[in-house]
Each structure stands twice: as structure tokens, then as C-alpha cells.
Chain A
Amino acid sequence: MRTLLAFVIIASFAKAETILYRAAAIHPADSGVIINGQMLVKDGEIVAIGTKLATPEVFREIDLGKLQVYPGLIAATTSLGLTEINAVRATQDTSEVGEFTPDVEAWVSVNPDSELIPVARANGFTHALVAPMGGTVTGTSGLIKTDGWGVEDMTVKSRVALHMMWPSLSINTTPKETMRDPDKFKSPKEQAKQREKKLLDIDRFFDDAEAYAKARKQDAAFKLIPAWEATLDVISKKQPIVIHANYEQQIISAVKWSKKRNYQIIIAAGLDAWRVGELLAKNNIPVVLDNVFRLPQRDTDPHDINFRSAGILHQAGVKIAHSVKMGNWGATEIRNIIYAASRSMAYGLPRDVALKSITLHPAQMLNADSKLGSLTKGKEASFIATDGDLFDIRTNVKRMWINGKEVSLESRHTRLYEKYKNRPKPKGLRQ
């Protein structure tokens, strides 16, 4: 009983405590690096950041020595927590069936004990957007922190964005006789008709949604329809739509559509985005890239085009974030998002933008930048301490705080590592 009491006291005390962190360098992300920096945190909030901070009378000091401090990293589009093992269907909660399912909510089904979450955390990711896959309008995403006891505890922001998988607009040109299933062959003309219909379906859906929104506004007692209800924030421009689209044709079509409807959109995936940088910049549409580590699409593309894509987009004036692909593979690879950003950096993206692309930019895109994304007075103290340049693979994340609380960097991987590192040598083996 006494111990428990003591714990409660310490916990509440810790919360109220003011802590001064010192580090060899602090990278706030929204301003230049602070060498021998200091950061003052109170109640989980950053109160000051700089070099020689004025401190209150009572405070604790944590000297991080040679470590460097960065904001907690944010993975902008993921299936984290919705998937465990790709080949085991029972562990998949990533994709729902149906073309239009806006009322599907992704964050509520995050498995808080997924082994994938601590692995992402171990390399600096404090937050991830969990989004649904499936048909065309797949549902709504939520932002989670990568530490917590349960879903409610971990949810930082629900209803972040509506997600759409933009229909494929490419003509399948495979000749009939070389198709695996020749009966499925459709002529380019037929396919062109089909894709027009798909786009028409999207418009019809949102026409109806807008009509519903109007009706609801005028008549609060109007019959509640969950699907339309889930689109209200998009229609009132409180919420962006994340449109997942890779190819030039899709991106152009999505941009035109958003202009026509006056919706706020974010392009995710964005394989071909570099080809339409100007269009995206002009319309102020940010891009979440998940294609840095992918082979070029065309046989005339430079071999390094996807490494250069982020730099080209930045040059054109587009705000970019780096993330992973949706689905299981991406969820296991969140820890490598940093290296997508460093690849882009090696191929032309300025260092400060590379850092923003995994911190401030995703926070801004997801309307979470009032609290997250950079180390600035008034924001949450969610940050990491590394033993070197974040963008170097050889660097390790040594400590992490989320909202002022230090969290563990242990994972399935470190546990197995410790266990088998200490395995005694078996007897009787020949040398």
C-alpha cells in the first residue's frame, strides 16, 4: 500500500515538475539548430527553449550530454496497430469492403499491444496517423501516440482526415491473348467509359453528402445517416481529405476535382507527384510521399528519380512529408521513414526540410501542429534524444518523451536481442 501511494505521489509530482533538459544540440524543426541547447518543460509542455534559459526556483535538470534532441517523429499515413502479420489474415484489420464507407473509423481498432508499435517507437516515432484502406472513400483516420495503456489513452486526435483511394485511371493495355484471364479483357474504349463512371460515382456521392449537410444545418432533427454524417467536417472544410494516388493522371484528376468542389486535400503516395509539382504548389496541396524506395515507373525515368522526387517537389513549392505505404509492410517499416527522408536529402532536399518532412509538416497537414511537430514554446514536450545525426543510419535513438513523460524504447526486437545475446554456448559443439 505504501509503495503504491508513493508511486502515485511521484507520478503526480512528476507531472507538476519543471525540468530543464540540456543537450549537445537541439533541433526544434521550426527554427535552426541550437548548439548546447536547453529546453524547459513544465507539465508536459515546453515553456522555453534556447541556450541560457531562466529557470524557476524549483526545477530538476536532465543533462543529456552528447545526445541531440529532435521533435518526436510523426508517421503521416500508416496502418499501424491494424495489422500484425501480413500472411495471417486473422491479424489484418486494415481494409474494409465497400466503395463508400466514410463512417469507418480507423483509430478505434488499433491493437495497443501490437508488437509493431514499440518497434516504430524505438527509432523515434512518437506519433502515427492510422488510416483505413478499402474501397474509394475508405473512412476516417486518427492520430495516435505510440505509447499508452489502451486505445483511448493513445488517441491524440480522432477524426483527423477522410481518406480516399483515387480510382486507377490507367488503361490496362495488356493484349487479350496475353492476359491471365482473357475473359476479363476490356478494350481501351470500354475502360475509358468505366473510369469516367468511377469519377462520376465519386461526384454523386459528394453531391448527396452536401445535400445532407445542408439539410442537417437547416433541420437538426433531420434523419441521421452515419455515412453522410462522417463527411460533414470535410464539407465544412474542418477536415482535409487525404487522397491516395500514385500516377500523374490520378493526381491531376484529384486536384481538378478538389478545386471544383473546393475541398481541402492532401495527396498521399504520390509516385508521380514530381511531374506535377507546379500544379500542386499552385493549389497549395501538400504531398505525403511513400515511394522514395521504389524503382522508377518508366523506362525513361532517371534511375534515381524517386530519390529526387521530394527535392523536386520542395523546389516547386510543395509541402512534403515522408511516410510508409499503407498496409502491413509499411507498418513494419515505419522506423525506416527517417532513411527515406535522408535519401531525399542526399538527392537535393535541404536538411531542414527533410527534418520537417517527418515532424512539422505531417503535424501541419494533420492539423496537429498546435501541439506537435516542433519544439517550441507552448507545444507538447514530445521529443527524442539521439546519439548522432538523426538522418544517419548508424545513429540510435537513446531516449524518448511523449507529452513530457519518458517512455520505454524496448521492443520485441530488443527483448529477443538481450535474450539471445546472453545465450550460453551450447556444450559439445565442434569448433
Chain B
Amino acid sequence: MRILVKFSCTLLLGAMILSPAEIQPPGERPVSTGAHALVGGRTIIKPGVLIKNGTIIIRNGRIRSVFETGKLPIPPDCRVWRMDGKTIYAGFIEPYLSIGDDKANPVSNRWTVPIDARSSINFKGVPTTKGDMGDIGPGYGIEEIRPQYKVSDTFSPNEKEFSALRELGYTAGNLIPTSGIIRGSSTSVLLGQGDPNNLILDPSTLQHMAFSPAKNYPKSLMGVIAAIRQTVFDTIHYQKMRTWTEQNQGLSRMKYNPALAAMENVIAPDNKQRVAVETGSVLMIARTAKLSEELGFEPIIVATGQEWRRPEILKKHAFDYILPVTFPAAPDLPDEMDWNMVSLDQLRTWDWAPEIPALLSKNNREFSFTIHGLTSLKPYRKNIQKSIERGLTEKAALTALTTHPAKLLGMSSLLGTIEKGKLANLTIVDGESWFNSENQVSGVWIEGRHFPNHSTPTKTEKDAKQKNVKLEPVTAKNPSNYRGVLKNPTNIIIRNATIWTSGQTGILSNANMHIKNGRITAIGPISSLPDSPDTFIIDAKGRHVTPGLIDCHSHSMILGGVNEGTLPSTAMVRIGDVVNSETENIYRQLAGGLTTANLLHGSANPIGGQNAVIKLRFGELPDDMIFKKAPAGIKFALGENVKQSNWGDDRKTRFPQTRMGVKTFFNNRFIKSRQYLEKKNNPQMGNNKPQRRDLELEAIGEIIEGKRLIHCHSYRQDEMLIFLRTMERFGVRVGTLQHVLEGYKIADEIASHGAGASSFSDWWAYKFEVYDAIPYNGSLLHARGVSVSFNSDSSDLARRMNLEAAKAVKYGAVSEEEALKFVTINPAKQLRIDKWVGSLEIGKDADFVIWNGHPLNTQTLCDETWIEGKQYYDRSKSAARAKAMADERKTLLTKLRSNGKGEKTELSARALFFRQALEKAHLLNNCYECKKGKP
């Protein structure tokens, strides 16, 4: 509603401004013939094709002909415009335009994801089941999903902004919808004056998506992806329902949903409406690729300026790009010491930024430039010029202003080149090139109408004094320089080691292990195993080898929020969509011998999201870190967090608020899912009425079918027991109870149910429900036959899980061999990946750690960490790695502070310097205390 009001105001204002022109008495001025000849200019017909002295004939707003001056006669009715000393381009097109009050901000990378959700969230779970959508009229249940919206519905030209764009050389623009997740259709318009009807070229060009949070649900990145997925499945259902209602007219009436109707264009088998996706991060470009394959839409990517992190993503996916040129500038800092906080990552982002256009080009990606993200147009041309200094060709740059945006918008027949039959949209610049920002745009032509540039030259005296800062070539390194596989021999023999197999053979002293192609081929006493000559030999005399450690509860590599803490059930969200392969946490945990982690959704709701088990293959892309053979899982939670006990008095209305309600809620959702499965397995039910694919119920259904493991955050004995009993009623065996801090009180019941127990070693007293947490929990559960693991739930603790295991020896005297299993084979069993990892046995993955001493001794350090026979961590190289990065930072800082000197920069560019990339934004949430306050 608010949006509508805003738009109508704009309309009224627009009408008032226009009125003086309309009351001019008729007949006073003769009507122009509409025929013009632009003669003698350097005419660039299209990128790379120049007529040095050209003539362009314009008639009725169209280009009639283009030729070398003198080759053809100029028709007598043409008004002749001398273009000597000027260069003429096809009119520039802005593909991603937003203006005035409705100017779009780039999608935020700050996914604060508070543990939210109040009364607006209803019991049934998903918002699409709500009765009333609120005040936005018919549409999708999530207010931020409104593909039916069209910018043309409320378009009126904004002369102030349009003239500024014309001064830059723009003649047409694609006005985008600026808020929401699925935002609606953009409208391409001429940047002229007058009747909006005449200015609109195409009312609905592209559809728009942005990975940005909603007001209620979704609030996390994984939630946004889940919502997009569900919308598409709802669209498919909508189509099926149309057919079904037609065939079953007596039974049901087709319900109208404009949002889903609009989405049909996006997923149509052919002639689909393309979708501009603002991903906000480079990893999400790869995710969009997967998503678009799955859902059948055709994306255009709005670049993030972070593409340098993963050029392979550019290479791998053949997308068109819309490319902002928002380059960060050297910040102003009050004190010398304040520079200490400038990170290597920020410096690299700064140094790489102007290189992004060339990087796209190098990877054969086509793109259009956009002013999107700039708060002022001033640096725009200068920034494009910088990109050219960094290796972008002028031809590619011109393509990005003309033919490529024309192609993106499906308007190549009207715009983009100076050719017969096209709209007479021209950009005219004094001098030889627009790509010299000192050359003033003298004017533009829009559909045959001339708009001279009356603005004062952009170059002020102050500017003139400025040094023309020449851009130095990029010196920043790529992250790949400091990560990835260190050694990758086909055959490995480890000799003379004490090997903790965590398997049948126990601890072997003075033993060998053979590895071939990433698998263990032999293990045992030296004498029994022959050496072969062509192998990589590790002499581990005096050292200990253990399986790679496994963390059954981690949040260390998750992008854009750990919780979709809004709805009480968010079974549809997937951690697998948002694994962060870029975080330094991976290296730090490898350095502690960790090789596998169970990435879990947070505990803000009874039914959380789907987990992702990963291997710490540092350097690989997220999808290649996933432990593909690991069975699917999901996070559940009980107790204080899900009933929002500790989040303040505002959070008192979401169901459930008590442990009674938690149990009720599970019962409710599981019955609902069982009914869902019944229909799914019997599609003929209800006269073959098509079933809506419901990602939430589907995921819960997989639990009932035994295809998805529950990992349930839980503390108190009573809540755990009733949870186990409730699940038993649905025939479900719980995978693990996580934290399980009062598990020791019901150890026999847990053992009898068959759930694993994944506990903290010794955390307690941070909440009332953990007042009875004791460090003997692990040993007591173990003693009664429960499979026990110790987990970290902390990016710090995950660096020394071996010492967590030692606490099982201290508290309750678990044997050392069994204690180590708490972080090796036991978590592997709990995650059902013990066939491949968790112990050192023939046939298993060669995931192992070499320690310089006894693995449970506090004085022992991790020497090497290997995953599938590849070395990912080597302690002897670690210091040099850190030093190289520190040196790089130093060099870049010097460069930043000397190179930028004397250059006038925009405040927004200086602020941009500190914008953390989403992949690095976890650093913001690194506060040890805050995290530990609320596991």
C-alpha cells in the first residue's frame, strides 16, 4: 500500500511539472519535418566499426541511413547538423536503472538474522497457508514475492534524473523494481520527456530476483533460496490446477493468483522472461546456476565486485552479466593506528575492483555496465576508464554500453547500433572518445529528438589541479594462492607410526599404513607390509596417526545466517545451499586435525533447516566440499531457544512458548507430513487433484520415510524423553541428540531408542536448562552403551577436538582409545558415514592426521592433515603462509596510501572500502562471548 501511495504522489507531481508546456497556444511554432542529417562526425556504427567521416540520416525518429559523408546525397528536407570534431555512438542503454525516491540499494550483505518471529507467524508453519495476505492485495503469501509487479504501472519520467543520465550519454534505460525477493518486471523506457506512454519501449522486459531478506519470512540467505524454490513449485502446481479445474469443473474452481501467473513467464519452456538476479555474493552466482537448472529459469547475473575471489565461477557458468562499477576508494582514517584494522581482504577487494570488467572479458563473459550502486554519477566514467587502464578493451566497454544491454533487454532490433531502421538514439561526445572522461558529452538524440547538454563542463578548476592518477596494475593475490592441496601423491606409505585406528585393530604401535588413490589399502605392523619404490613415504617415527577428526555440530562455514529463525518449522531451508568455502575457519580447523564437519542450522525453531556434512577440502567450491555420500539430515531443537525464553519480552507470541507446545508442534507437523506422504504415494486420491509440492512437508516426510536423520538440539531429560517417544510413535529413530546435556539422566532410554549423543565436553550454566550439565555426561552415556561424540559448536573449539576427547578420560575415566572415538568413529556412525570415514581401515578414505605426539596430550601439535590422500595442512609451511599474507597486506597498504593520494573520491566509495564481502562477513559475528552465550 505504501508503495502505491508513493507512486501516485510522483504521478501527481509529474503532471504539475509538465502542465506549462501543454498550455502553449497551438500554431505558434511550425512542426518540424523530423528529418535530420548529422554530418562529419566520427561515427561508430557499432563496437569496432568506425566511419571516420560519417553522415547519419534521421527521419521520423528512426535512422534512415548511415554512410561515409559524400557517398550519398543528403535529402533536401533534412536539417543539417555539423558534427566535426565529435564522435557519435549508438545511444547508451542503462539496463539496471532505478531513480529518485525509489533508488535501489545493492542487496545487503549483512544478514543479521535475529532470532525473530512474532505474532505474524502462524501455527501452521508456512506463510503461504495464511488466510489474509495483509494489505497488498492478491498475490503470494510472502509479501516480498511479487513477480506480478510491473514498473510500467507506476512509471512517470523524472526529468531531473533523466537529464543527468543524458548528460552521461544515456538515451534509454531499463527501470527495475527495487525491493523484495522476486521483485517483478522491469520496464525499458526512453530517457526523454513527455507522455509516459510514448516513452515506454517494453513494459515488461526482465523479471527480477534478489537474495535479500524479507520482513517476516525468509530472513536468512538459505531461507530466501528456499522461498524462491517453493514459489516455482507453486507455479507449477498453479498450472496443473488450471488444467485439472478445467477438466473437473463441477468439483473445484480455479483460484486466481497474479504472482504465480506472472511466474509462468519465467519458467515457460520457451521464450521465457529472463531473470536478473542480484546475488550479493560471488558464491551465490554458482548457487544461482544450480538453482536455475533445477527450476528452469534463465538468469542474468548482477555482478557483485567480488568476482575476483572465484574467477572459475565466471568461467564455468555462461551467464550474461550486469556490471556495476562501484569501486572502493582509500578511506579517510583519523589516526595512523586506525590503519591497523584494515584487513588484507579489504585491500585485495580494493585492488581487484577495477579489474573485474577485464576479468569478465577474459573469461568470455559479456556484460552491460550499470550505474547501480553509485550514489553519485560523478565517478562513473572515470571508473570505466580505470577498467580500461586495467585491460578492458574500448570495444568491450562500448559493447557494455550499447549492443549488450540492447540484447539483454531483447531490443536489438531497436537499439544498440547506428543502423538503418533502428531508433535514432545517439550519444555524441566532443573529441575522439567517450572513454576519456575529460571529453564532454555534447548531447544525445532520443528517437530523433535532440537533447543538448547544457550542463557546465564537468571539469571544475579544482578538478583541473588534480593529478591525473594513473592506475597501477593489480598486485593483490587471489585467495587460491594460499589454499588448496599441498601434496597429492598417488601412493603413500606412512612408516613407523603409532596408529590409532579407531577400528577393530585398536592402537597399533610401530605400524605402517598404505594409501592408494586416496584410499587406505593396507595397515598393520611393518613386517607384514612391503614398501614399493614409487611411493611418497612419510616417516612417522615417534609420531601418532589418527583418523581425521569429525565435528558433529558446526556452524563454521555458513553464509548469510545460521538460523532461519522465523517460522517454527523451516524444514525447507538447506545449509547445503549456503556453504561458505571462503572462510579462513577451514584452514584453522584443518590445522587442528579436523577433516569432516556436520554443518547445522541453528536452534531458533523446533524444526530447523536441513544440514550439510562437508569435508574440509579447502580451496574447492562449496558443492565440491559436500560429503556427497552422507545421508541427508535436519536440525531440530527443544527447550529455551525454540520457546524464545531468552530473547526478551517481545518474543512471546510464536507457538510454541512452552515445552508442552514443543511436543504438540512436532506431533502436528508429523501428522500433517504423514498425510502429505499419503497423497504423494496415492496421487489418485481426491479425484487426481494435483498435489502442491511442499518443501517443508516433503523434508519432514523424508524423516518418516527413514531417509533423513534428525539432529536434535536438546538439554533437559524430560524434553528429550518425550521427544524420543513422540518420534517413536511415527516410527522414527532419532539420529543424534545434540548437546544432550542431561542425557546422562536418561542414558538407558537413549540407548534403547538408539539415538546417538553428541555433547559438549564441559559447557554449563549459561542458561537455566544447562544448570545440571556435567562434564561426566559423555562417560556416563558411554558406559550405558550410547554412541557418544563430543562436538564443538564453536569455530574456536573445532581447532582442538582431540583435547575435547581427552576430557572424557579426565571426567569418568573413559579409556584413551574409546575417548578418541568420541571425535572419530562415533560421530561418523552418528552421521552414518562410518563406511567411509572415522577410522583407519582398509578401503576407507585416507582422511588422517599426523600428530607430533600422543593425540590426547595437551602438548601435542598437529603436524599434517590429509583428506582422501591429499595433504591440506602442513605445520611446517604454516608460518610462511601467514608471513606471505602479512607481507602482501603491507605492500597493498602502501600502495593504497600512496597511489590514492591527490585523487578526489566520493564519500560512498570510501565507505565502500569497508563493506565486507558476504563470504567474509562471518568475521563480524566472531565475538567469542556472544556466540558462546547462546548455543
Q: Mark A222-260, 1 if CB is under 8 A from B, else 0.
A: 000000000000000000000000001100100000000
B window 461-513: CB within 8 A of A: none
A interface, size bucket: 35 or more
Cβ contacts under 8 Å, A249 to chain B: 335, 337-338, 340
Asked whether A429 lies within 8 Å of B859 as measured between CB atoms, the reply is: no
The 8 Å CB contact of A417, one of B332, B343, B345, B776, is B776
Closest Cβ–Cβ distance, residue B544 to chain A (whole Å)? 15
Interface 1/0s, chain B 799-816, versus A by CB < 8 A? 110010011011110001
Within 8 A of B (CB), among A394-431: 394-396, 412-413, 416-417, 420-421, 423, 425-426, 429-431
Counting contact residues on chain B (CB < 8 A from A), the size range is 35 or more
Asked whether any CB of chain B lies closer than 8 Å to the CB of A127, the reply is: no
Closest to A176 in B: B911
Q: Quick check: B806 and A394 within 8 Å, CB to CB?
A: yes
- Known interface pairs A252-B337, A294-B796. Does A420 touch B780 (Cβ–Cβ under 8 Å)? yes
Residues 139-189 of A at the B interface (beta carbon under 8 Å):
169-171, 173-178, 180, 188-189
CB-CB < 8 A to B332: which residues of A? 188-189
Among candidates B333, B345, B591, B878, residue contacting A299 with C-beta atoms closer than 8 Å: B345
1/0 per position for A323-338, CB-CB distance to B under 8 A? Answer: 0010111001001100
Contact B766 A180 (CB under 8 A): no
Contact of A300 among B344, B749, B767, B920 (CB under 8 A): B344
List B323-367 residues whose CB lies under 8 Å from chain A: 331-335, 337-338, 340-341, 343-345
Contact A343 B812 (CB under 8 A): no
Contact between chains at B110 and A180 (CB < 8 Å): yes
B885 contacts A293, CB within 8 Å? Answer: no
Alpha-carbon distance A171/B879, docked complex (angstroms):
29
In the complex, what's the smallest C-beta–C-beta distance from A351 to chain B, in angstroms? Answer: 9
What are the residues of chain B within 8 A of A413 when measuring CB–CB? 764, 774-776
Q: Is the CB of B879 within 8 A of A86?
A: no
CB of A115 within 8 A of chain B? yes
Q: Give A275's nearest chain B residue, CB to CB.
A: B340
Which of B215-223, B560-568, B924-932 touches A? B924-932
* CB-contact partner of B112 in A180, A339, A343, under 8 A: A180
Whether B768 contacts A299 by the Cβ 8 Å rule is no
The interface residues of chain B lying within 8 Å CB-to-CB of A342 are 858-859
CB contacts under 8 Å to A, within B713-757, are 744-745, 747-749, 752
B108 within 8 A of A: yes
Q: Contacts of A420 on B, CB cut-off 8 Å?
A: 744-745, 747, 780
Q: Is B319 an interface residue (CB 8 A)?
A: no
In the complex where A85-B766, A339-B803, A393-B858 touch, is A299 in contact with B885 (Cβ < 8 A)? yes
Complex: how many Å from CA A38 to CA B793?
Answer: 45
User: A302 to B752, alpha carbons, bound, how many Å?
Assistant: 46
Q: Is A346 an interface residue (CB 8 A)?
A: yes
A88 contacts partner chain B, Cβ-Cβ < 8 Å: yes
A395: chain B residues at CB < 8 Å are 810
Interface residues of B in 798-836 (CB under 8 A from A): 799-800, 803, 806-807, 809-812, 816
Whether, in the assembled complex, B666 has its beta carbon less than 8 Å from a beta carbon of chain A, the answer is no
Does B889 contact A391, Cβ atoms closer than 8 Å? Answer: no
Contacting pair B914 A115 (CB below 8 A): no
User: How many A-B contacts are there with CB distance less than 8 Å?
Assistant: 189
Which residues in chain B, 95-125, are within 8 Å of chain A measured between CB atoms?
A: 105, 108-110, 112
A192 beta carbon closer than 8 Å to chain B: yes
Find the residue from A177, A252, A391 having the highest chain B CB count within 10 A.
Answer: A177
In the complex, whether A303 has a CB less than 8 A from a CB of chain B is yes
- A261 and B792 alpha carbons, distance in the complex (Å): 45
- Set A119, A189, A391, A416: member contacting B858, Cβ < 8 A: A391
Q: Is the CB of A248 within 8 A of B856?
A: no
Q: How far is the CB of B815 from chain A (nearest CB, A)?
A: 11
**CB-CB contacts below 8 Å: A174-220 with B:** 174-178, 180, 188-189, 191-192
Task: State whether the Cβ of B698 lies closer than 8 Å to any Cβ in chain A.
Answer: no
Interfacial residues of chain B within 561-618, with CB under 8 A of chain A in the complex: 584-585, 587-588, 591
Closest beta carbon of chain B to A253's beta carbon, Å? 9
Residues A346 and B859 in contact, CB atoms below 8 Å apart: yes
Q: Chain A residues near B886: list those with CB within 8 A.
A: 300
* Those of A328-382 within 8 Å (CB) of chain B: 328-329, 332, 335-336, 339, 342-343, 345-347
Known: A303-B588, A342-B858. 7 other contacts (CB 8 A): A175-B911, A175-B914, A176-B911, A299-B584, A304-B878, A329-B929, A426-B749
Q: B-side interface residues toward A, CB under 8 Å?
A: 105, 108-110, 112, 331-335, 337-338, 340-341, 343-345, 584-585, 587-588, 591, 640, 645-646, 744-745, 747-749, 752, 762-768, 771-772, 774-776, 780, 783, 795-797, 799-800, 803, 806-807, 809-812, 816, 856-861, 878-879, 882, 885-886, 888-889, 911-915, 920, 923, 926, 928-929, 932-934
Across chains A and B, which 7 residue pairs bring their CB atoms closest together, nearest first? A192-B334, A302-B882, A173-B914, A393-B806, A342-B858, A175-B911, A429-B752
A-B contact pairs, 25 of them (CB 8 A): A87-B766, A116-B765, A170-B338, A171-B333, A173-B331, A173-B914, A188-B334, A191-B334, A248-B337, A295-B926, A300-B886, A304-B878, A327-B929, A329-B933, A332-B765, A347-B861, A391-B859, A393-B809, A393-B810, A393-B858, A413-B774, A416-B774, A416-B776, A420-B745, A426-B748
